[in-house]
Structure 1
Amino acid sequence: MSDQESSTSTSQTEGELDEEVEGEVDTEVEGEGENDSKHRDSPPLQISSFSSTLRAVIRIKQKYHALKKRRQEVEGALTGATGRTSPKIFTFDGTTPTALSVPQKKKRKRRRRVMYPNRGKRRAPPKPARSRAKYCLYLLFAIVFVQVYNAIENLDDHLLRYDLEGLDKTLRREVFGQQGSVEGLLSHLKEYLSTYVHNKPLVVSLHGPSGVGKSHLGRLLAGHFRSVVGETLVLQYYVLHHCPQEADALQCARDLSAMISEIVERAEEEEKIPLFIFDEAEHMHGEILDALLQLVSSKQSNEYLNAIYLFLSNLGHSHVTKHMLHNSSSTSMAKSGHYSHFVKELTPILRNTLEKLHVLWTEADILLLGLLEKGQVMECFLDEMTREGFYPDHTNIERLAGEIEYYPEVGGHEYSQTGCKQVVAKVNLL
């Protein structure tokens, strides 16, 4: 069937339905009209006549909806056959034809296209935000630099106060054959005197045979420190002179403790470091060693921590002599540079021996002075003769040096048994 024929049939059907509806409505209206005419002719209306009229109106409405629904079904069937869609009819019933509705496809959401900037146009880089904390950091660096610089300057000031360079020159010129020991002692002094704050006092113990220059070294140190820190801050303690009797050892220990306490308190007021030299320490009594141990221990107050204790003794001299005679080929110490090797081998042995004597030696740094050769003894004679005003005749010096006793020659070295101890006495006999 063509579209034209379907449209004609549809219009005919609609017309027939309209005629039927109109006919029925006219019939009902005529009936109602007759009833009305009868009622007009009749006496006034009653409640029963009003209810019959209402029922007639309801029946007409129901018939109208039934015809209308049948008309919509016919139209839907016709449009389904021809493939056409009829316009939607708006009603208050809320009833819509769902059986013949066509499902619609869901539209896919299109992704938004990412827009990139043109390559030709260059964007300016963001400017970094300036932080005020950076300037505080620069200020902190400057403060730290100034503090470190001042600390270095203070170290130099301390060293300049004690004139360690002058002391170095004096010891190298006056002490013969002990360059290794002198360098070790100066290293300890430089490290300790570079600052005024310490956690323990400096305790150094020099050991060696008789006549190698221990007492002479102590006198040079005492004279130098008297010139830089004052006479009252230097103490030279000779045990055989200050406490010759063992019975007085306890009283000597008390007097020594009181003397040291007075000196360290005065040094604390002047902000200086005192020097205490104990010569002939091998003759010190046990009570004196106990008193000194209490003074050098780190449990004391601050003023006792800023002090230098120097012990001079010939304890362990037999170990030094035996080691040098048996290893003479490698113990030309200062000249051949084997002093560090000599100390490394002999220090543990000597420390073990000293610790058995008293606990005080555990707190000390040990330095060793070796035997003097014949050439070094001749240097002692030359220096002493120059001091006394004698003409330094080499033949005379060699003759005097030959009068001193020596150990048997070993490995081309001839070591003196008494060192330079007899030099002063022989020069005085000239």
Structure 2
Amino acid sequence: MQLRRKHAVLLWILFCSGLAEALEPISTTIAVGAVGIGMGIGRYAACYFRECCQPDWISFNHTGLQLDLRRRLFGQHLASGIILKALDGFMNNDSPKKPLVLSLHGPTGTGKNFVSKIIAENLYKKGMNSHFVHVVIATLHFPHVSRIETYKTQLKQWIKGNVSSCARSMFIFDEMDKMPPGLMDSIKPYLDYYDKVDGVSYRKAVFIFLSNAGGQSIIETTLQFWKAGRDREEMELRDLEKTLSLSAFNDESSGLWRSSLIDKHLVDLFVPFLPLEHKHVVQCVLAEMEARGVELDRSTAEQVAEDLIYFSSEKIFSSKGCKTIVSKLDFYV
């Protein structure tokens, strides 16, 4: 690639040199300008066919994110509102003071991974396939607690290298509740209010933590609203945020146990994902049907939803949210 680029530049120089001689006594500055134009065209052409860290490939689609959260994410009014406002404020700020750090909490199957995908699709032209979207899975990438010091070094170098390549990088840390305690503190300087760390600015990066920690407290609070006859849409962030931050800080399995990221207030928002009711599971099934191009059939969707397991004595919430509906639907379609 580097050799071809040099050849291209050389051809432009030869061409422009000939052009300058043919047009004498016109100044040879024309040739110099032509070379500059040619190199600019070369860079533009390269980024036309290949993903680059430029607005053509990375741009925030507010309307798209808003519509996706409304149409594709069910039962999560709190998460939808928080995430939309957070991304809107951050991406429209040309000079943010720190990276955006979101910590998503809730029971399994409630949409945490799905939301990360939606965010990526509305930030990057290639979505989750973008070279600038990076996923870390605790049990896959950091399986041995005994190697934590090695992991710390590797994680810092990996993040630094990716942000050096593109300031608008996004990092998704899945299974935070299985992350070795203390590991995330190693990246504290990258999430802090520093202009640069070792010559690299991290202020335009996005960090998303996904965790089941605090899920039980979210379920209990949601159940209290239900028992009191209150609509779950009445729930506000203040009803859960403090509980979540305390759970993440005090739970030894949270990945953020006694973490300086919480102690120093570097996590911008703790985003609760509520347990899903039967009606939300039905919506998930209908959405999956639509995605498959299958004729929408509410009675089938109801059957699939009925097949799932619901927990608590009242059997209000799906124990796995919408996580298993894809395989369940296969039995009906």
TM-score (norm 1): 0.56
Corresponding position of 1:313: 211
Deviations 1:377-430 (A, max 9, x none): 0011111123234333222221111111223575xx932222111211212334
1:360 pairs with 2:254: no
Q: Does the CA contact (< 8 Å) of 1:225 and 1:234 recur in 2?
A: no
Matched, 1:193 2:96: no
Residues 163, 228 of structure 1: 8 Å contact kept: no
Deviations 1:232-290 (A, max 9, x none): 3221212222222323333232222112112222224xxxx221111111111124212
> Residues of 2 paired with 1:199 and 1:414: CA distance?
42
Residues 170, 327 of structure 1: alpha-carbon distance in 2 compared, 3 angstrom cutoff: closer
Separation (CA, whole Å) in 2 of partners of 1:282 and 1:422: 21
- Name 2:309's counterpart in structure 1: 405
- Counterpart AA for 1:282: D
C-alpha distance 415-331 of structure 1, shift in aligned 2 (>3 A):
farther
1:211 corresponds to which residue? 109
| SS at structure 1 position matched to 2:247 | helix
Aligned-residue offset at 1:330: 5.5
- Structure 2 counterpart of 1:278, which letter? F
SS in 2 for 1:318: helix
Number of equivalences: 262
| Cα pair 2:73 2:111 within 8 Å, conserved | yes
Match of 1:285 in 2: 180
Q: Determine if contact 1:203/1:309 at 8 Å carries over to the other structure.
A: yes
Over 3 Å counting, the alpha-carbon distance change for 1:313 and 1:420 in structure 2 is same
Question: 1:222 and 1:250 mapped to 2: Cα distance?
Answer: 30
Structure with higher RCO (Cα < 8 A, 6+ apart): 2
CA contact (8 A) 1:232 1:263 kept: no
Aligned to 2:24: none
Equivalent position amino acid for 1:250 in 2? E
Write the distance in 1 (CA, Å) between the matches of 2:308 and 2:288: 15
Q: How does 1:154-303 map to 2 (within 5 A)?
A: 161-227=59-125, 231-268=130-167, 273-299=168-194, 301=196, 303=201
**Larger radius of gyration, structure 1 or 2?**
1
Match of 2:285 among 377, 381, 385: 381
Residue 349, structure 1, aligned to residue 243, structure 2: yes
**Which of 211, 216, 220 is 1:322 aligned to?**
220
Structure with the bigger percentage of helix: 1
State the distance in 2 between where 1:241 and 1:219 align. Answer: 19
TM-score, with normalisation over the residues of structure 2? Answer: 0.72
CA distance in structure 1 between the aligned counterparts of 2:229 and 2:142, rounded to whole angstroms: 41
- Deviation (angstroms), 1:176: 1.0
SS at match of 2:121: helix
Determine helix, strand or coil for the equivalent of 1:311: strand
Q: 1:267 to 1:313 in 2, by over 3 A?
A: same
Q: RMSD across aligned C-alpha pairs, in angstroms?
A: 2.5
Q: Given the superposition, is the C-alpha separation of residues 247 and 429 from structure 1 closer, same or farther in structure 2, using an over 3 Å criterion?
A: farther
Residues 198-233 of structure 1: per-residue CA shift (max 9 Å, x gap) = 221111111111111111111222333331799232
Q: Which amino acid aligns with 2:124?
A: R
Deviations 1:269-326 (A, max 9, x none): xxxx221111111111124212222321224616112211111111111111111112
Taking the aligned partners of 2:260 and 2:321, their CA distance within structure 1 comes to 30
Matches within 5 A, 1:97-112: none
Q: Counterpart in 2 of 1:32?
A: none
Structure 1: how far apart are the matches of 2:147 and 2:70?
39
The question of whether the paired residues in 2 share the 8 Å contact of 1:210 and 1:419 is answered with yes
1:422 aligned residue (310, 314, 324) = 324
- C-alpha distance in structure 2 between counterparts of 1:396 and 1:202, whole Å: 41
Gap runs ≥5 in structure 1: 1-156
Query: Which whole-Å CA distance do the structure 2 matches of 1:249 and 1:165 have between them?
Result: 41
